[in-house]
Structure 1
Amino acid sequence: MPVMAASSMVFSSWQFILVYLPIVVLIYFLMNHLRWITAGKAWLVVASLFFYSYWDTKHLPLILGSIFVNFAIGTYLAKSHGPLPGDTGRLNHGISRKMVLAAGIAANLVLLGYYKYTNFLLDNVNALLGTAHTVPQIVLPLAISFFTFTQIVYLVDSYRGETAKYGILNYSLFVTFFPHLIAGPIVHHQQIMPQFDSRWTLMLRKSNLLKGLFIFGIGLFKKVVIADNFAVWADAGFDGGQSLGFFAAWATSLAYTFQLYFDFSGYCDMAIGASLLFNISLPINFNSPYKALNIQDFWRRWHITLSSFLRDYLYIPLGGNRSSEYQTYLNIFITFVLGGLWHGATWMFVIWGAMHGAALGVHRLWKKWGRPMPAALAWLLTFVFVNVAWVFFRAKTLEDAARVLHGMVDFRSIAGTSLPSAPTSDFAWGGWLSDVLLQYLPVGLVGHVPAYLAIAFAFIVVRQKNSIEIASASLGSAKLVCGVVIFSLAMYAMLATTSSVFLYFNF
Structure 2
Amino acid sequence: MSLWFYGYFNPSYLLIICSSIAINYLLSKAMILHGGEEKKKRKPFLVLGIIFNVGLIFYFKYYDFFIQNINTVFKTDFNLRHIVLPLGISFFTFQQISFVVDAYRGETDDYSFLEYALFVSYFPQLVAGPIVLHSELIPQFRDSKKQKPYFENLSRGIMMFTRGLGKKMLIADMFGKAVDFGYSQASLIPAGEGALTIPEIIIVMTAYAFQLYFDFSGYSDMATGLGAMFNFDIPMNFNSPFKAISIAEFWKRWHLTLTRFLTTYVYIPLGGNRKGKLRTYINTMIVFLVSGIWHGANWTFILWGISHGVVQCINKLTHGTYVKVCDAAGRLPFGVILKGIIRAVSWFVTFEFLCVSWIMFRGASVTQFIQIIKRFGVVNLDVRSELIEGFRIPKFKYVLEFLHLPSSDHTVLMTGCILSLLAAFVICLCCENNYERKYRTNALSLVFTWVILVACIVSMSSISTFLYFNF
TM-score of the superposed pair, with normalisation by structure 1: 0.83
Query: Shift in Å at residue 62 of structure 1?
Result: 0.5
Q: Tell whether 2:188 aligns with 1:224.
A: no
SS at match of 1:421: helix
d(CA) in 2 for partners of 1:194 and 1:360?
Answer: 36
In structure 2, what is the equivalent of residue 396 of structure 1? 364
Aligned residue for 1:348? 300
The equivalent position to 1:443 in structure 2, one of 409, 413, 424, is 409
CA RMSD of aligned residues (A): 2.0
SS at match of 1:237: helix
Partner in structure 2 of residue 7 of structure 1:
none
User: Secondary structure in 1 aligned to 2:148?
Assistant: coil
User: Match for residue 259 of structure 1?
Assistant: 211
Q: Could you tell me which residue of structure 1 aligns to residue 107 of structure 2?
A: 162
Deviation, 1:423, is: 8.2
In the other structure, the counterpart of 2:10 is 56
Q: Does residue 377 of the first structure (1) align with residue 329 of the second (2)?
A: no
Task: Show the 5 A alignment for 1:189-204.
Answer: 189-204=134-149
- CA shift, 1:305, in A, is 0.5
Q: Counterpart in 2 of 1:4?
A: none
1:505 corresponds to: 469
Q: Whole-Å Cα distance in 2 between the matches of residues 468 and 207 of structure 1?
A: 16
Deviation, 1:348, is 0.3
Which moves more between the two structures, 322-331 or 286-295? 322-331
Residue 484 (str. 1) matches residue 450 (str. 2): yes
Q: Go from structure 1 to structure 2 and tell me whether the alpha carbon gap of 1:119 and 1:372 turns closer, same or farther (over 3 Å shift).
A: farther
Partners of 1:228 and 1:56 in 2: how far apart? 25
DSSP 3-state at the match of 2:437 = helix
Match of 1:406 in 2: 374
Match of 2:225 in 1: 273
**C-alpha contact 1:183 1:505 (8 A) present in aligned 2:** yes
Match of 1:418 in 2: 383
Matched-pair contact (CA < 8 Å) for 1:253–1:404: no
Measured after TM superposition, the shift of residue 158 of structure 1 is: 1.3
Which amino acid in structure 2 is aligned with residue 68 of structure 1?
A
User: Contact 1:78/1:162 (CA < 8 Å) preserved in 2?
Assistant: no
1:335 and 1:283 mapped to 2: Cα distance? 22
What per-residue deviation string (whole Å, max 9, x for no partner) do you get for residues 130-172 of structure 1?
Answer: 1121132111111111110111111111122233421011011
CA distance in structure 2 between the aligned counterparts of 1:362 and 1:476, rounded to whole angstroms: 48
Indicate the residue corresponding to 1:338 in structure 2. 290
Contact 1:340 1:352 in 2 (8 A): yes
Offset at 1:430? 8.6
Q: Which position in structure 2 is the counterpart of 1:118?
A: 63
Distance in structure 2 (CA, Å) of the matches to 1:153 and 1:145:
13
Distance 1:106 1:433, change over 3 A: farther
- Residue type of the alignment partner of 2:358: W
**What residue in structure 2 maps to residue 72 of structure 1?**
26
Q: CA deviation at 1:176?
A: 0.5
- 2:432 corresponds to which letter in structure 1? K
Q: What is the CA–CA distance in structure 1 between the aligned matches of 2:8 and 2:152, rounded to whole Å?
A: 31
Q: What residue ranges of structure 1 are gaps of 5+ in the alignment?
A: 1-46, 91-95
Q: CA deviation at 1:243?
A: 1.6
The residue identity in structure 1 corresponding to 2:169 is V
- Kindly indicate whether the alpha-carbon contact (under 8 Å) linking 2:385 and 2:413 is maintained by their aligned counterparts in 1: no
2:154 maps to 209
Partner-residue secondary structure (3-state), 1:156: helix
Shift of 1:119: 0.8
Tell me the CA shift for residue 376 of structure 1.
1.1
- 1:470 to 2:437 alignment: yes
Distance 1:265 1:79 in 2: 40
Instruction: Give the equivalent residue in structure 1 for 2:189.
Output: none
- Per the normalisation by structure 2, the TM-score is 0.89
Instruction: Return the alpha-carbon distance in structure 1 between the equivalents of residues 228 and 203 of structure 2.
Output: 36
Distance 1:120 1:420 in 2: 37
Q: Distance in 2 between matches of 1:71 and 1:199?
A: 24
Give, in whole Å, the separation in 2 of the partners of 1:433 and 1:215.
31
Q: Deviations over 1:423-472 (max 9, x none)?
A: 85xx5x9984577689762133344332222111111110111111113x
Distance 1:268 1:372 in 2: 37
Identity of aligned residues (%): 38
SS at match of 1:469: coil
1:362 to 306, 309, 314: 314
Q: 2:258 aligns with which of 276, 291, 306?
A: 306
Alpha-carbon distance in structure 1 between the residues aligned to 2:399 and 2:363: 32
Q: Which residue identity does 2:352 align to in structure 1?
A: V
| 2:25–2:116 CA contact under 8 A, matched in 1 | yes
**1:399 to partner: Cα distance:** 3.1
- Cα deviation 1:296-322 (Å, max 9, x = unaligned): 110011100000111111111222111
Superposition deviation, residue 111 in structure 1:
0.8
- In structure 1, what is the equivalent of residue 46 of structure 2? 101
Give 1:501 deviation, angstroms: 1.1
Partner of residue 12, structure 1: none
Aligned-partner Cα distance in 2 for 1:329–1:109: 24
Contact 1:257 1:387 (C-alpha < 8 Å) held by counterparts: yes
Equivalent-residue separation in structure 2 for 1:467 and 1:411 (angstroms): 41
Q: Kindly indicate whether the alpha-carbon contact (under 8 Å) linking 2:393 and 2:416 is maintained by their aligned counterparts in 1.
A: no
Q: 1:405 to 1:476 in 2, by over 3 A?
A: farther
Q: Counterparts of 1:189 and 1:213 in 2: how far apart (Å)?
A: 25
Determine the C-alpha separation between the residues in 2 that align with 1:258 and 1:419: 20
Q: Unpaired runs of 5+ in structure 2?
A: 187-193, 327-341
